[in-house]
Amino acid sequence: MTEVIATNETILVVGGGISGMTAALEAAETGKQVVLVEKRPYVGGRVTQLYKYFPKLCFPTCGLEINQRRAKMNPNLNIVTMAEVTDIKGEAGDYTATVKISPRYVNENCTACGDCAKAVEAEFDDEFNYNIGKRKGAYLPHRMAHPQRYVLDPAIIGSDDAQKAKDACKVNAIDLDMQEETIEFKAGAVIWATGWKPYDANKIQPYGYDRIANVITSVEFERMADPNGPTGGKLQRPSDGKEIKSVAFIQCAGSRDKNHLLHCSRICCMASLKQATYPADEVDISIYYIDIRAIDRFEDFYQTVKAKENVSFIKSKVASIVENKENGNPTLHGVDTEGYNRYANEHDLVVLAVGMEPSVDKASFPVEIVINEEGFIEPAPENGGVFAAGCSSDALDVNRAVQHATGAALRAIQVVNRVAATEG
Amino acid sequence: MSDLNTAMIEKYRSSFLKEVEANVEEGEWVKMCMQCGVCSGSCPLGKHWDHPPQELFMMIRANKRDEVLGTDSMWMCTSCYNCIARCPRGLPITHIMHGLAVYSKRLGLVQKKQPTAEFSQIFWDNLMKKGRVNELKLGLSMYFKDGFGQGIKNAMANQKLGQNMMKAKRMNAMEFFGGHSVKDLSGFQKMVKKAQEIEEGNLKDAK
């Protein structure tokens, strides 16, 4: 049974991505009791799936390591993984949260030796790599996963594979009888940091993501560029594994569009500019855009990428993509805005810079909350002691999400401080 | 130049955008265009346009009145609605194209022998007679619009089509004499007249 000790002076953080982790750590480091509830089997969220950060092109693993170390060292922080908040009742200063914890089938004895993964045979789409490639039925989600503990896919439970995993474990870490649990605990304030998801590219019908193998999304390209990713860092075409010689990026794929996401997702311009630095200098790169939104200090990065000889910019929202059946090349059709020239350009690979869709479910949100027309949580007095952090509040890059989360932590601390003052 | 055209030039001397907003159906949307170009790229007849929709919107904002009203680009629109479906800003592009065509027609600025404009006029005249389209007469008017000789040639070339339509009862030779009508023809004509008066009134107010 998972035990969570919490009071009305505890801060509940929902979501353990970069924003949730930041808010939880900042609050815990001021001495507050914090419970962090994370749906995935590990913390770090989508940042763990990034190869590099813009604009410095440094590795997110670096900051992640620091945050994970801060988490391990802090006795005020209780991280509950594979858990989802199903209900919150009460008001600011006096909430009761209901949390459903899915079984991991692996207990804290796990040393992450990997013997169970070697023993099992069944393979599943690797969600960490956006379903490019496979993972085993017993797996460590990624190399730096925190907690550093294996997971058994619920689909193998009851099969021979599950028994093989158990038999292979030398430290008795596999518990096949683990059950789903529902726990309740108190909290004074809630930080909602459920982040974002990539906009479903299948909905952008003219771009053919669902029917053209060599049209992929920016998050998939990111995994492909990572040396620890499914292709070992090789940038290759999904259709035939051919090394790419020319790649096109399509901006605003699902953003700033009445038919899709209303808002500008803010990160995609910089993400594509960053990704334009991944291929070798011989690779032709074309960026199709409406306008490049590289704000303040990012302008320098934009200018640097612009100066690269192999990168060209085409001011045009691509109208449609048609596959050349002979060679599998996607052909981009449209009219550019600088000269109104009609083009039909072939590329080896097309990357859709998909937008940020908030992972805030309006319909099932547990408490009264003000959500704007774009699906993000508005800062509003009606929200009581519930504060959005990071991409629950707006489309933000990591830097701004971290700043925003720190602000949210301060709001939550104010609420629990008031509780402390009245309870003496 | 028509009087109306002269009056409009005088009134909107400095801003063609304002003129379009006031007088062209859905013209108030023109300023919302963000020049992404998805309309132009999505138009199946796009390559036949001198100026695709996105360029027309920019020309309107750039005060290129003569070029916009004098082009036949907007007459190329076949109302497939691809542009409206894809426009990220939700501009009713098809309607604006028709609005521009109608406005240039009112001002007497349509290019001579513009086929779509000619067809539109023939269709309108045909419809106004009985309140119903007379397919037979519409077809004949189209065949003979460029003279008797050409008309015979067109009719011969499409002979088979005409016969098949008659066989399938899609067209009736008797329609040549009079033709079918709406029940209340004078009521229909009054209604159209009233609508035209309102439209004329709106333009006069604009003057």
Does A107 reside within a domain? Answer: no
On the question of pLDDT at B207 being above 70, the answer is: no
Q: Say yes or no: A350 and A206 in one domain.
A: yes
Mutation site, B38, B51, B84, interface A, largest A CB count within 10 A: B38
Residues of B in contact with A333 (CB under 8 A): 41
Residues of B in contact with A258 (CB under 8 A): 87-90
Domain final residue pick, A309, A325, A355: A355
Burial (Cβ within 10 Å: 0-12, 13-18, ≥19) of residue A295: exposed
Residues of B in contact with A342 (CB under 8 A): 40-41, 46-47
> What does the alpha-carbon distance between residue A377 and residue B40 come to, in Å, rounded to a whole number?
36
Closest listed residue to residue A401, CA positions, set A192, A92, A189: A192
Does A83 reside within a domain? Answer: yes
Q: Say yes or no: A296 and A219 in one domain.
A: yes
Q: Say which of B41, B55, B88 has its CB closest to residue A333.
A: B41
**In this predicted structure, what is the pLDDT of residue B171?**
85
ipTM greater than 0.85, yes or no?
yes
Does A79 reside within a domain? Answer: yes
Closest listed residue to residue B123, CA positions, set B111, B137, B108: B137
8 Å CB contact between A112 and A150: yes
Residues of A in contact with B51 (CB under 8 A): 340
Token digits of residue A41: 């089997």
B200: CB partners within 8 A, 6+ apart: none
Q: Say yes or no: B102 and B153 in one domain.
A: no
Ranges of residues in chain A whose predicted pLDDT is under 50: none
Three-class SS of residue A101?
A: strand
Q: Quick check: bond before A147 cis, omega within 30? A: yes
* φ and ψ at residue B46, rounded to 5 degrees: -50, -40
User: How many structural domains compose chain B?
Assistant: 2
Does B207 reside within a domain? Answer: no
Closest listed residue to residue B96, CA positions, set B110, B84, B112, B113: B84
Cβ of B40 within 8 Å of Cβ of A340? The answer is yes
Q: Say which of B34, B85, B90 has its CB closest to residue A290.
A: B34
Q: What is the pLDDT of residues B55-111, one digit of tens each?
A: 999 999 999 999 999 999 999 999 999 999 999 999 999 999 999 999 999 999 999
Does B205 reside within a domain? Answer: no
Q: Say yes or no: B94 and B147 in one domain.
A: no
Q: Say which of B37, B46, B89 has its CB closest to residue A316.
A: B37
Domain final residue pick, B111, B132, B154: B111
Q: Where are the alpha helices (DSSP H) in B62-158?
A: 65-70, 82-86, 93-106, 115-130, 135-143, 148-157
Cβ of B88 within 8 Å of Cβ of A256? The answer is yes
Crossing angle of the two packed helices B3-11 and B16-23, in degrees rounded to 10: 120
- DSSP state for residue A197 in the 8-state scheme: E
8 Å CB contact between A230 and A219: no
Cβ of B42 within 8 Å of Cβ of A340? The answer is no
Cβ of B37 within 8 Å of Cβ of A258? The answer is no
Three-class SS of residue A320?
A: strand
Q: How many residues does chain A have?
A: 424
> What does the alpha-carbon distance between residue A396 and residue A377 come to, in Å, rounded to a whole number?
13
Burial (Cβ within 10 Å: 0-12, 13-18, ≥19) of residue B119: middle
Q: Is B37 on the interface with A (CB under 8 A)?
A: yes
B168: CB partners within 8 A, 6+ apart: none
Cβ of A259 within 8 Å of Cβ of B41? The answer is no
Mutation site, B29, B33, B35, B36, interface A, largest A CB count within 10 A: B36
8 Å CB contact between A389 and A20: yes
**In this predicted structure, what is the pLDDT of residue A424?**
65
Q: Say which of A257, A259, A335 has its CB closest to residue B52.
A: A335
Q: Say yes or no: B81 and B172 in one domain.
A: no
Q: Say yes or no: A380 and A324 in one domain.
A: no
Cβ of A340 within 8 Å of Cβ of B36? The answer is no
Strands A123-125 and A94-101 turn out to be unpaired
Please report the residues numbered 83 through 122 in chain B whose beta carbons come closer than 8 angstroms to any beta carbon of chain A.
Answer: 85-90
Token digits of residue A45: 């969220």
Query: How many Å lie between the alpha carbon of A342 and the closest alpha carbon of chain B?
Result: 7
Opening angle at CA B13, ends B11 and B18, nearest 5: 75
Q: Is B41 on the interface with A (CB under 8 A)?
A: yes
Residues of B in contact with A334 (CB under 8 A): 37-38, 40-41
Residues of A in contact with B52 (CB under 8 A): 335, 340
Domain final residue pick, B58, B91, B111: B111
Provide the residue range defining the domain that includes A220. Answer: 199-355
Q: How many residues does chain B have?
A: 207
Instruction: Report pTM.
Output: 0.92
Q: Match 């269709």 to its residue by tokens.
A: B123
Cβ of A252 within 8 Å of Cβ of B35? The answer is no
Q: Is B35 on the interface with A (CB under 8 A)?
A: yes
Q: Say yes or no: B133 and B84 in one domain.
A: no
Q: Say yes or no: A37 and A94 in one domain.
A: yes
Q: Say yes or no: B172 and B193 in one domain.
A: yes
Domain final residue pick, B96, B111, B126: B111
Three-class SS of residue B187?
A: helix
Nearest residue of A to residue B33 by CA position? A290
Cβ of B37 within 8 Å of Cβ of A333? The answer is no
Q: Say yes or no: B124 and B184 in one domain.
A: yes
Does A174 reside within a domain? Answer: no
Does A1 reside within a domain? Answer: no
Does A148 reside within a domain? Answer: yes
Query: How many Å lie between the alpha carbon of A287 and the closest alpha carbon of chain B?
Result: 14
Provide the residue range defining the domain that includes B171. Answer: 115-197
Q: Say which of B46, B86, B89 has its CB closest to residue A206.
A: B86
8 Å CB contact between B181 and B172: no
Burial (Cβ within 10 Å: 0-12, 13-18, ≥19) of residue A130: buried
Q: Say which of B41, B88, B90 has its CB closest to residue A334.
A: B41
CATH number at residue B16: 1.10.1060.10
Q: What is the pLDDT of residues B137-158, one digit of tens each?
A: 999 999 998 889 999 999 899 9
Strand partners, A136: A123
- What Rg, from alpha-carbon coordinates, does chain A have? 23
> What does the alpha-carbon distance between residue A23 and residue A29 come to, in Å, rounded to a whole number?
10
Does A81 reside within a domain? Answer: yes
Nearest residue of B to residue A343 by CA position? B41
**In this predicted structure, what is the pLDDT of residue A1?**
66
> What does the alpha-carbon distance between residue A385 and residue A187 come to, in Å, rounded to a whole number?
10
Strands A284-289 and A189-192 turn out to be unpaired
User: How many structural domains compose chain A?
Assistant: 3
> What does the alpha-carbon distance between residue A358 and residue B107 come to, in Å, rounded to a whole number?
50
Four-point Cα dihedral B47, B50, B53, B54, nearest 10: 100
CATH number at residue A89: 3.50.50.60
Cβ of B89 within 8 Å of Cβ of A252? The answer is no
Q: Which amino acid is at A105?
A: Y
